[in-house]
Structure 1
Amino acid sequence: MQDNPSPWHGVQVSLAELMALEFKARGLSLLAHQPRASLLAGNHGSRLRGRGLDFEELRRYQPGDDLRALDWRASSRRGLPYVKTYHEERDRPALLLVDQRMNMYFGSQRSFKSVLAAELAALLGWMAWQAGDRVGGLVFNDARIEAIAPRRSRQSVAALLAAISRQNAALSADSVLADAPGQLDLALRRCVQGGGHDQLICIVSDFAGCTEASVQLLRQLAAHNDVLALQVYDPLALRLPERGRVLVTQGQLQVELTLDRATVRKPLGDYLQGRLREVAELLRRSRVPLLMFSSGEEAPLQLRRELGREPRRGARSPV
């Protein structure tokens, strides 16, 4: 926690704050030996292939070696137990797709969704760099997509985080919410057209505008890559307060709703929860592993929890 937090804390995030998340990414991995409690264990773990393995050597069995590595033919031929050892390939691009559209510029508790997405992307970028991977990505808003080519260097991570912080700083309450739901698909299509194979692709977004076309693009990406969807949402989508007012915007149209009335609160709450479930179901049908993150909690804590490094809370699932 900062001693003197900025008045924009939670609304905007600086490059310095994203760079500082390097320390909190240490010891975390999306791919290596996830504990049983992790969401990436079981079905999720089988969907993330990880790096390829190159054969290293055939050697005598030593106490503590994994029995599954025994080479039965060599052991039978030589009369002694032998094991095959492998080492991981170190050349694996990690590509981050980071959503900074105006629909992300909202938050009712700890931070805006745009800030949470930026923090999650920074943690993932540092995790990939610390694992020896090349790091790059696409950062998109309602009007443009910035591309950072994957490179194995600290400067590449810094360039990606700089692009994220630039687009995050450009978000403003004075901006008109653009009706550009197809921007998500444009970013996904850029990835597909890149033709990359054996990449780790992490998409951090609220997935507003996700359609059947998005599902098909995700499936194309997942055919030759490890793809992970991180859906960010605001706690209001789960439970609206019983009192107060909310401002609903659509482009230049703005409507203020009073939540004291059940005739307003219930339909709005049902719509928000229904939309969250609808998007989550679309993503699940894409056969891409889905993790969900609330803008009401800190990004590092939630990521550690999803990776099995923190005990899971008894909170109800958003879907």
Structure 2
Amino acid sequence: MFDKAALIRTGLAPQSPAPDKSLDPRVSVDLAHLRKLEPRAKTLSFLPRQPANSALNGRHASRMRGRGLNFEELRDYLPNDDIRAIDWKVTARTGKPHVRVFTEERDRPTLIVVDQRMSMFFGSVLNMKSVTAAECAALAAFRILDQGDRVGGIVFGDETIAEIRPQRSRRALDRFLASLAAANAQLHAEAPNVTPVSLDDVLTAVARIAPRNHLILIFSDFDVISETTRKRIRGISQHNDLVLGLVSDPMADDMPPDLRLAISDGRLQAEIDTGDQTVQRSLRDMAKGRLADVLDWKRSLGVPILPLSAGEDSLSQMRRLMGLGPR
């Protein structure tokens, strides 16, 4: 008899059918849609060497980089150093022997973490945040496997967490995409009101699967964060190459002043009128406050952040943020 918890962790648990959303790709993504992104992913690069204006440029040094040799440092010659590593130009200029130190670049396991909780099921311009996160994650997964690196992921919804450990295989990639499509299919207006999986619990799983020397990409709106979240992000970033894809909606920056919203938790319903200046200010401050807290991690923790918008094409903004320019 199969262990249900184990099936959920591996993304193999059967999913209950969700209401038909007519598969509008702005609202919902299926496996076929994600697979169609593969050719477009070839225009991206997640290798250490990034364009000067890339948001990923200057990531902290990782010892699991890719292929060949990576220049680490120039330092004084020490006993037992290989004399072939001596930099004769620097030695002649300084009058002291110096050596160039390189680290071997090996294949780099990558873990892609994707948030598909109900907080992501919102969009005011183009896509739902959940769609933008899913598309960006799929683009990254295709490109990383194509670069020859191992790829896996964690996909989490309100009630489930699917874990796929990094492997250099198409089968692992397909399992990741299938888990992503299944989690996205559970997002709909009639979804039951439940206490969602905590981001802190997900980060605990990330630390367990990728204790060190991984590239970790997290695509989320980072709903409900705390000082514990910050500490876990810091711990993960100290031993891995961590990049945060912060997914937001344009409404967080520019909330219409005359909007009436009906919101529901599946049982109770309330109406919000943004024409009320106090209500509008409270909503704007709440949204911007959370975004500001996450963006501050770049300064305080040195973690690169990709500010992704649900109001823009996924590939186009990833290319812009990575300094690659128009296609």
Instruction: Check whether TM > 0.5.
Output: yes
Q: For the Cα contact (< 8 Å) 2:217–2:245, is it kept in 1?
A: yes
Count of residues in Structure 1 that have an aligned counterpart in Structure 2: 286
| Equivalent AA in structure 2 for residue 302 of structure 1 | Q
TM-superposed deviation, 1:275: 2.9
1:277, 1:124 → 2: CA distance? Answer: 25
Q: CA 1:148–1:209 in structure 2 vs 1: closer, same or farther (change >3 Å)? A: same
Deviation at 1:276, TM superposition (A): 2.2
Does 109-118 or 169-178 show the bigger shift?
169-178
SS at match of 1:18: helix
Match of 2:65 in 1: 51
Following superposition, the deviation at residue 85 of structure 1 comes to 11
Bigger mean CA offset, 170-179 vs 101-110: 170-179
How far the C-alpha of 1:192 sits from its partner, in A, is 1.4
Structure 1 residues 151 and 249: alpha-carbon distance in aligned structure 2, compared to 1, 3 A threshold = same
Q: Which residue of 1 aligns with 2:181?
A: 165
Contact 1:93–1:133 (8 Å) recurs in 2: yes
- TM-score normalised by the chain length of structure 1: 0.80
Equivalent of 1:125 in 116, 141, 144: 141
Contact 1:204–1:229 under 8 Å retained in 2: yes
**2:40 aligned with 1:29:** no
Give the AA of the match of 1:92.
R
Aligned equivalents of 2:50, 2:297: Cα separation in 1 = 26
Which of 120, 134, 142 in structure 2 is aligned with 1:104?
A: 120
For the aligned residue pairs, the C-alpha RMSD in angstroms reads 3.0
- What fraction of aligned residue pairs are identical, expressed as a percent? 39
Change (3 A) 1:49 1:111: farther
Q: 2:273 aligns with which of 232, 255, 258?
A: 258
Deviation (angstroms), 1:166: 0.3
AA of the residue aligned to 1:99:
D
| 1:133-169 residue CA offsets vs partner (Å, 9 max, x unmatched) | 0110111112121111211112211110110000000
**CA spacing shift, 1:271–1:221, aligned 2, 3 Å:** closer
Matched, 1:214 2:223: no
Q: Secondary structure of 2:59's partner? A: helix
- Amino acid in structure 2 at the alignment position of 1:266: R
Q: Tell whether the 8 Å contact from 2:64 to 2:107 is kept in structure 1 after alignment.
A: no
Unaligned stretches of 5+ residues in structure 1: 1-5, 57-68, 77-82, 312-319
- 1:158 and 1:7 map into 2 onto residues whose CA distance is 20
In the TM superposition, residue 50 of structure 1 has moved relative to its aligned partner by 5.6
Counterpart residue type for residue 238 of structure 1? D
Which residue number corresponds to residue 11 of structure 1? 27
Question: 5+ residue gaps in structure 2?
Answer: 1-21, 71-83, 92-98
CA contact (8 A) 2:219 2:247 kept: yes
**Equivalence for 2:153:** 137
Select which of 275, 286, 290 maps to 1:271: 286
CA gap of 1:52–1:135, structure 2 versus 1, over 3 A, is: closer
Partner Cα distance (1:284, 1:248) in 2: 35
The residue number in structure 2 matching 1:194 is 209
Displacement after TM superposition at 1:170 (Å): 1.1
* Matched residue, 2:108: 92
Partner of 2:306: 291
In structure 2, the residue matched to 1:228 is 243
Query: Partners of 2:218 and 2:25 in 1: how far apart?
Result: 24
Note closer, same or farther for the CA distance 1:222–1:158 as it changes in structure 2 (3 Å cut): same
- The 3 A distance-change label for structure 1 pair 263 and 198 is closer
Which of the numbers 195, 199, 219 marks the counterpart of 1:179?
Answer: 195
Tell me the TM-score normalized by structure 2.
Answer: 0.78
Residue identity matched to 1:45? R
Equivalents in 2 of 1:88, 1:131: separation in Å?
Answer: 17
Instruction: Report the CA distance shift for 1:253/1:47 in structure 2 as closer, same or farther (over 3 A).
Output: farther
Gap change, CA 1:19 and 1:45, over 3 Å in 2: same
* Structure-2 residue corresponding to 1:3: none
